[in-house]
Amino acid sequence: MVGGGVRDLLLGREPKDFDVATDATPEDVKQVFRNCRLIGRRFRLAHVHFGREIIEVATFRGMHESTSDQARQDSENGMLLRDNVYGTIEEDALRRDFTVNALYYNIEDFSVVDYADGLKDLEAGVLRLLGDPEQRYREDPVRMLRAARFAAKLGFTINPACEKPLLENGDLLDGVPPARLFDELLKLFLGGTALHAFEKLRHFDLFRHLFPETEECLSHEEQGFPITFVIRGLKNTDTRVREGKPVTPAFLFAVFLWEPTRLRAQQLEAEGRSRHDAMMEAGREVISRQISRVSIPKRFSLQMREIWNMQHRLELRGKRALRLLEHPRFRAAYDFLLLRAESGEADVELAEWWTLIQDVSEEKRIEMVNATGGGGRKRRRRPRKRPAKE
């Protein structure tokens, strides 16, 4: 066993998953385990399924001496495109990212094998890249995000020689495929330490390479609503993860991109578009720019837009709005409204109204709607334009 599983067990934490390394090739592994599937986007790996669990089994990977080998290709800026050369366990250790991630637990004699002084760093709480830090970030810029993630998750410090290039090389992230960044963001923000991760990313000036428009808004208003809103959203997510409640990337991404979307919608409204149209269009624009950086699978971007579009309908409170209670995305949109209200961007009284109405009888609901002048009687009345309370 290698990597996070060993690291976390030694730290007395519960490992998220178990990674296995072996000198058997993926094909060999498949011969041994019937419940095995070979996968491989970047690397060829064996996934061994045990019920719901998947144990990832990787064949020891070597360094890349044989330059003629087709198995290894570099892009111009030194980024590793494929590296699928098998090697020895010592070589396998050296191509891992951090020393604390290069510890092996040998089930043959129950020993921990440490080729890279990982135990020392583990005790000291230090993240240290193997080899030359800048070169290692260059080979795979996602390691920069991993540095921020492990620092946040483990509360480790980053060794100074590995920290400095972080501040200088954020641009490298611009060359990483958007789909890979999305995968990494899930790990960064849905692991229970989202707020810390966010703070680290901003500290190293990496955040702007992931969410440029969000960073633009945040940098203009260091203390204002946008940052309060994002921080609350992240805290919210961390609490839910701790409590074992489900979290969706859609909500989190909707939080991150709300301010750019809201501002753009305001602009479009000022140009004469209806509130609804403006929000639809702003959402479309912001998401389409965002996915050129970090991809967002369609099912999530649809949910994000529903959450955003429903904000306006929640503000109307009329009879039609009542139907929102049945909407599959109501809960998310309501939580989103609460966050906005707590951060001072939406009406607190409006949020309370929606909190209350969920708990009362059908009769009382109609009463509440009528009390807002939300038009209960007439059929198909167009939603009244309410001035936004900002």
If binding is defined by CB under 6 A, does position 96 make contact with ligand ATP?
yes
Q: Please check whether residue 129 is in contact with residue 136, taking contact to mean a CB–CB distance below 8 angstroms.
A: yes
If binding is defined by CB under 6 A, does position 193 make contact with ligand ATP?
no
If binding is defined by CB under 6 A, does position 16 make contact with ligand ATP?
yes
Whichever of 43 and 69 has its CB closer to ligand ATP, that residue is 43
Q: In the set 1, 2, 4, 196, which binds Mg ion (CB under 5 A)? A: 4
Distance CA 200, CA 191 (A): 15
**80 exposure class (CB count in 10 Å sphere: 0-12, 13-18, 19+):** middle
Token pair of 270 as six digits: 């000022």
Q: In the set 180, 187, 232, 284, which binds ligand ATP (CB under 6 A)? A: 187
Count of beta carbons in the 10 Å neighbourhood of residue 356:
12
Residue nearest to Mg ion (CB): 4
Stretch that binds Mg ion, among 13-21, 114-122, 130-138, 256-264 (CB under 5 A): 13-21
Residue nearest to ligand ATP (CB): 4
* 3-class DSSP state of 291: coil
381 binds, among Mg ion, ligand ATP, none (CB under 5 to 8 A by kind): none
Distance CA 224, CA 358 (A): 31
Q: Please check whether residue 166 is in contact with residue 129, taking contact to mean a CB–CB distance below 8 angstroms.
A: no
Whichever of 123 and 352 has its CB closer to ligand ATP, that residue is 123
Of 8, 83, 92, 97, which is the active-site residue?
97
The distance of closest approach from Cβ of residue 202 to ligand ATP in the complex, given in angstroms and rounded to an integer, is 21
Q: In the set 13, 17, 352, 389, which binds Mg ion (CB under 5 A)? A: 17
- Please, what is the Cα angle at 344 between 340 and 346, to 5 degrees? 50
Distance CA 248, CA 300 (A): 8
* String of contacts with ligand ATP for each residue 52-91, x by CB under 6 A: ----------------------------------------
Distance from the Cα of residue 110 to its chain's centroid: 35
Whichever of 193 and 261 has its CB closer to ligand ATP, that residue is 193
Q: Please check whether residue 131 is in contact with residue 101, taking contact to mean a CB–CB distance below 8 angstroms.
A: no
If binding is defined by CB under 6 A, does position 226 make contact with ligand ATP?
no
The distance of closest approach from Cβ of residue 102 to ligand ATP in the complex, given in angstroms and rounded to an integer, is 6
Q: Which residues pair with 114 in a beta bridge?
A: 103
If binding is defined by CB under 6 A, does position 196 make contact with ligand ATP?
no
The distance of closest approach from Cβ of residue 56 to Mg ion in the complex, given in angstroms and rounded to an integer, is 8
Q: In the set 9, 10, 11, 19, which binds ligand ATP (CB under 6 A)? A: 19
Q: In the set 44, 64, 138, 143, which binds ligand ATP (CB under 6 A)? A: 143
Q: Phi and psi dihedrals of 267, rounded to 5?
A: -60, -45
If binding is defined by CB under 6 A, does position 140 make contact with ligand ATP?
yes
- Beta carbons within 8 Å of 53's beta carbon, 6+ residues apart: none
Q: Please check whether residue 59 is in contact with residue 24, taking contact to mean a CB–CB distance below 8 angstroms.
A: yes
277 noted as active-site residue:
no
17 noted as active-site residue:
yes
What does R_g of the chain's alpha carbons equal in angstroms? Answer: 25
Token pair of 7 as six digits: 């690291």
Q: Phi and psi dihedrals of 20, rounded to 5?
A: -115, 140
97 noted as active-site residue:
yes
Counting every residue written for the chain, the total comes to 390
Whichever of 4 and 283 has its CB closer to Mg ion, that residue is 4
Residues at the interface with Mg ion (CB under 5 A) = 4, 17
Residues at the interface with ligand ATP (CB under 6 A) = 3-4, 16-17, 19, 96-97, 101-102, 140, 142-143, 187
What residues are annotated to the active site? 17, 19, 97
